[in-house]
Chains A and B, each alone.
Chain A
Amino acid sequence: MALLEVNGLTKRFRGVTALDGVSLQVEAGEAVGIMGPNGAGKTTLYNVVSGFVAADAGSVRLRGEEIAGLSPNRVVAKGLARTFQVPRPFRRLSVAAHLEVVRPAGGAPTDRDRTATEAVLALVGLGGKANEAAGTLSQGELKRLEVARALAARPSLLLLDEPFAGLGPAEIPGLSALLRRLHGEGMTLLIVEHKLRELMALVQRVVVLDYGCVIAQGPPEGVVRDPRVLAAYLGTT
């Protein structure tokens, strides 16, 4: 049984079909990439899977349990956490507070255990910033805070939405190493990303979306050479 099973997911917004019967599977321990031109439906897919948007049709199963239709916080309780493409920090709260607010999978609140918080912050490289207000962090630091907050939920599956977007060349290696380490330790990753090089270094398999449909799947090297994928990105019909 796959960790995540998405079947026939369909979502329409005011006449635009954002998702058109999307199906995919993620096995436990995998790192899978999701690619596609802008507007292909990647963020909508995440929004539906994480419970922020209700699908018009289709199912989403986590460890065999149907989670489509659950509210976002219940989805987190089931073991699925996500980050946002544009970081959504709690500007006026401290970095440490971001983790203390999280309700991890299983639903019980964390004891406000400083040690655990410090461990996660050290993992993402924000160890020294525990008491800084999130509003003072750089873009790279905010991205890492997003990951830390998602990790604090102790998920089985981590959905990352363009983790490398907006990062400068100095910040990319750090995040890449972090994600590789998480995967190495057994975390299942689903990564939406445009930056091909970083993505290919992290994932074994890539799913390509275009206009809400899965148009290609497979190992990254093969997929990027697939003529349908090239056509989707270059805009030829």
Chain B
Amino acid sequence: MRAEAGVVAAAALLALAPLALGNPYVLLILILANLYVGFAASWDILAGYAGQFNFGQALFVGAGAYAAGFLAGRLPAVLGLAAAALVAAGLALLIGLPCLRLRHAYLSLVTLVAPLILERLVFTFRGITGGEYGITLEPFAGRLGLFYITLAYALGTVLILHRLGRGRLGLTLLAIREDDVAAQAAGVAIVRYKLAAFVLCAAFAGVGGGLYAHALGAVAPVAFSLDVSFAIIAMGAVGGMGTIIGPALGAYGLTLAGESLRGVEHARGILYAAILLAAVLFLPDGIMGALAARRTAVQATAVKASA
């Protein structure tokens, strides 16, 4: 599969990056980019395939981060990450069961505010969560090790979800996105499928959240922030929803672009919001969509030319 081969090749290239850029700060940026690839790709299976817009991916990232953060030092990191996935998936079920039945706009609003609520809970139970100071933890690997692990996470997430997307699950989700009434008339149990997409999205994001905690050595309520959720949406929208690979590209692109603005407070937030607005207005299918459209147009002209 050409696209997947491309992804593996890109990952292989990235694997060589530390040799060229030994700077630990740059390594951290790349780690974050890797993580955002996972966040955006998992977001896409829900938003791009099932058509359910999740405005609060940070909920799963943060939940995974806190879960792994608590268990760091108490359990092996692998179990901590598994717990992160389970906690995030559990939240997805908790929210999804009542809300996926509803008109999809309502789910969007619920996902928008859910991280806010969790943030409040974190502040309220500050004895356990450390409140605004959060918790610190001993990362289970050094920065270089984490770079490779997060790279593997990004690659794995993209490949697995891309495969699922091309398979029966993806097809069914796309049908639900196109017309869920027609999908039901075709015998599809739409709630079950939407829930599956929601849980997948949450689980992969949760694992990434756990890795995020280790990468930073700390977890704070900022993990639930709207900025995180919106950055992910911007990455997905710009990259091209419904492709998994598009959002992965968007994640790398926007993380690196965002870094260049690190100096100016909130400039990054404005950038992401403006990009998102522009994407939704002018490029609704993202870059992947624009490329696909150009390819189809090129093919059409080629056909006409040879006719």
- By a beta-carbon cutoff of 8 Å, the part of chain A in contact with chain B is 50-52, 71-74, 76-77, 81-82, 84, 88-93, 97-98, 100-105, 107, 109, 112, 149-150, 152-153
Contact status B179-A101, CB under 8 Å: no
CB pair B181 A104 closer than 8 Å: no
Interface status of B182 (Cβ within 8 A of chain A): yes
A-contacting 9-mer, from B92-100, B185-193, B229-237, B271-279: B185-193
Inter-subunit contact A90/B175 (CB<8 Å): yes
**How far is the CB of A96 from the nearest CB of chain B, in Å?**
10
Question: How far is the CB of B148 from the nearest CB of chain A, in Å?
Answer: 37
Chain A residues within 8 Å of B185, by CB: 50, 52, 72, 76, 81-82, 84, 88, 149-150
- Return the 7 tightest CB-CB contacts between A and B, nearest first: A103-B187, A76-B187, A90-B178, A88-B182, A72-B184, A102-B186, A101-B175
State in angstroms the CA–CA spacing of A91 and B190 once bound together: 18
Residues of chain A within 8 A of B190, CB atoms compared: 73
Q: Could you say which of B179, B182, B183 has the most chain A C-beta atoms within 10 Å of its C-beta?
A: B182
B74 CB–A CB distance under 8 Å: no
Other A-B pairs, 7, CB within 8 Å; known A52-B184, A103-B186:
A52-B185, A73-B189, A88-B179, A92-B174, A93-B175, A101-B172, A109-B168
What are 5 residue pairs bridging A and B, where the CB atoms are less than 8 Å apart in the complex?
A: A84-B182, A101-B172, A101-B188, A149-B182, A153-B187
Counting chain A CB atoms within 10 Å of each CB, the highest count among B174, B181, B185, B189 belongs to: B185
Residues on B with C-beta less than 8 A from A74 are 189
Q: List B contacts of A103 (CB < 8 A).
A: 186-189
B83-104 vs A, Cβ < 8 Å mask (1 yes, 0 no): 0000000000000000000000
Closest to A91 in B: B178
User: Which chain A positions have C-beta within 8 A of B178?
Assistant: 89-93
8 Å CB contact of B168 from A91, A112, A152: A112
Q: Which residues of B contact A (CB under 8 A)?
A: 168, 171-172, 174-175, 178-179, 181-190
Q: Residues of A contacting B175 with CB < 8 Å?
A: 90, 93, 97-98, 101
Q: Count chain B CB atoms within 10 A of each CB in A50, A72, A100, A104 and give the residue with the most.
A: A72
Nearest residue (CB) in B for A97 is B171
- Inter-chain contact B182/A90, CB cutoff 8 Å: yes
B94 to chain A, nearest CB (A): 22
Chain A nearest CB: distance from B198 CB in Å?
A: 18
- Of the candidates B171, B181, B189, the one whose C-beta lies within 8 Å of that of A101 is B171
Give Cα A81–Cα B184 distance, bound, in whole angstroms.
Answer: 10
Question: Distance (Å) between the CB of B252 and the closest chain A CB?
Answer: 26
Give the residues in chain B near A153, CB-CB below 8 Å. Answer: 186-187
Query: B163 to nearest A CB, angstroms?
Result: 15
CA distance A174 to B27 in the complex (A): 65
Q: Which of A77, A98, A112 contacts B187 (CB 8 A)?
A: A77
Residues of B within 8 A of A102 (CB): 186-188
CB distance A76 to B186 under 8 Å? Answer: yes
Nearest CB on A from B197, distance (A): 15
A72 to B181, CA, bound (A): 9
From known contacts A88-B181, A88-B182, A112-B168, infer whether A93 and B174 are also in contact, taking CB-CB under 8 Å: yes
Contact A100-B184, Cβ < 8 Å, known A73-B189, A90-B179: no
Closest to A103 in B: B187
Within the assembled complex, what's the spacing in Å between the Cα atoms of A4 and B131? 62
- Chain B, residue nearest A99 (CB): B186
* Distance between Cα atoms of A217 and B190 in the complex (Å): 37
Please judge, given known A-B contacts A88-B181, A90-B179, whether A73 and B174 are in contact too, CB under 8 Å.
no
Which residues does chain A contribute within 8 Å of B171, judged by CB atoms? Answer: 93, 97, 100-101
Residues of A within 8 A of B179 (CB): 88-91
* Min CB gap B256→A, angstroms: 31
What is the bound-complex CA distance between A77 and B187, given in angstroms?
6
* Bound CA–CA A112/B172 (angstroms): 12
CA distance A73 to B185 in the complex (A): 6
Residue of B nearest to A50 (CB): B185
Q: How far is the CB of A176 from chain B (nearest CB, A)?
A: 23
Residues of B with C-beta under 8 A to A50: 185
When distances are taken between beta carbons in the complex, the residues of chain A under 8 Å from B182 are 84, 88-90, 149
Query: What chain A residues lie within 8 Å of B187 (beta carbons)?
Result: 73, 76-77, 81, 102-105, 107, 153
| Cα(A71)–Cα(B190), bound, Å | 10
**How many angstroms between the C-alpha atoms of A102 and B184 in the bound complex?**
9
Task: Assess whether B183 is in contact with A101, with CB atoms less than 8 Å apart.
Answer: yes
Complex formed: what's the CA distance from A73 to B183 in Å? 8
A147 to chain B, nearest CB (A): 12
Cα A102 to Cα B172 with chains together (Å): 9
